[in-house]
Amino acid sequence: MHKNHEELQLLQKQGEACLTNVTDFLKTFIANPISKIVRLEEELMFCKAYIEIQQLLFRNALTYEIDLSLDITLEKFVPHFSIYTLLENAIRHNHFTEESPLKIIIVTEGDYLKVINNLHPQKSMESPTGQGLLNLAELYRLLSGDEIHILQSKNYFTVHIKLFNNEAYPFEEAYIY
């Protein structure tokens, strides 16, 4: 009986953490336009909440690693929802299990942020339209004239997106009109 009580307490804590993540995720999603430029730190907090919600669903079938210096996260900017789009793309278009997990890695390389995931393509999914990546590519062209770079090998899918400097976007909030 004591063990059941401990398990219930653990489930309650997990439920509270999930509710907090969902609340934070929805607040950010509703309150911010897609065209907003945000500090990388803010985008990563939003994305961590999203991934942690997904991890509650998929458990050990989904892992992630963010390997960025604090300086980068505080000094660089990205379009809001840009990293989220790449995470959602990886989760949506791959089949993964605890035996064959989806691994997502976020790192920087020069002035670019890379989101890398191993490939386990969905077998029964409708043909992907690529609309999310097309929209992200168009947003980058509009904001900076830069292209996103998409690389696919036999085992990995990688997208490079340009990090904006403070000098390029001196205001924390910039909008497309």
Pick from 58-62, 115-119, 152-156, 164-168: least confident: 164-168
pTM for the complete prediction?
Answer: 0.77
Residue 169 lies in a domain: no
Separation of alpha carbons 38 and 52, rounded Å: 21
Residue with tokens 């992200």: 136
Does some domain include residue 172? no
| Residue 60 forms part of a structural domain | yes
Cβ pair 62, 91 in contact under 8 A: yes
- Report residue 176's pLDDT band, with 50, 70 and 90 as the boundaries: very low
Q: What is the mean pLDDT of residues 25-29?
A: 50
Asked whether residue 58 is assigned to any structural domain, the reply reads yes
pLDDT at residue 169 is higher than 70:
no
| Averaged pLDDT, 79-88 | 95
Residue 80: CB atoms within 10 A of its CB come to 22
Domain that holds residue 72: 2-162
Query: Taking all residues of the chain, what is their mean pLDDT, rounded to a whole number?
Result: 82
Q: Where is average pLDDT lowest: 18-22, 90-94, 104-108?
A: 18-22
Residue 90 lies in a domain: yes
For residue 31, tell me if it sits in a domain.
yes
Tokens of 104: 């997502």
Specify the range with the lowest mean pLDDT, choosing from 20-29, 61-70, 82-91: 20-29
- The mean pLDDT of 130-150, rounded to a whole number, is 91
Query: What is the average pLDDT across 99-119?
Result: 97
For residue 165, give the 3-state DSSP assignment.
coil
Comparing 24-38, 98-112, 134-148, the range with the smallest average pLDDT is 24-38
Calculate what percentage of the chain has a pLDDT beyond 70: 70
Inform me whether the pLDDT recorded for 33 exceeds 70: no
Count of the separate structural domains present in the chain: 1
Which neighbouring-strand residues pair with 66?
106
**Residue 163 DSSP symbol:** P
CB 109 within 8 A of CB 160: yes
How far apart (Å, rounded) are the C-alpha atoms in residues 72 and 76? Answer: 6
The domain that contains 17 carries what CATH number? 3.30.565.10
- The answer to the question of residue 168 being in a domain is no
Residue 173 lies in a domain: no
Q: In this prediction, what percent of the chain has a pLDDT beyond 90?
A: 62
Check whether 138 has a pLDDT greater than 90.
yes
Query: Residue 41 above 60 pLDDT?
Result: yes
pLDDT at 62 over 80: yes
Given the structure tokens 């000098």, which residue do they identify?
167
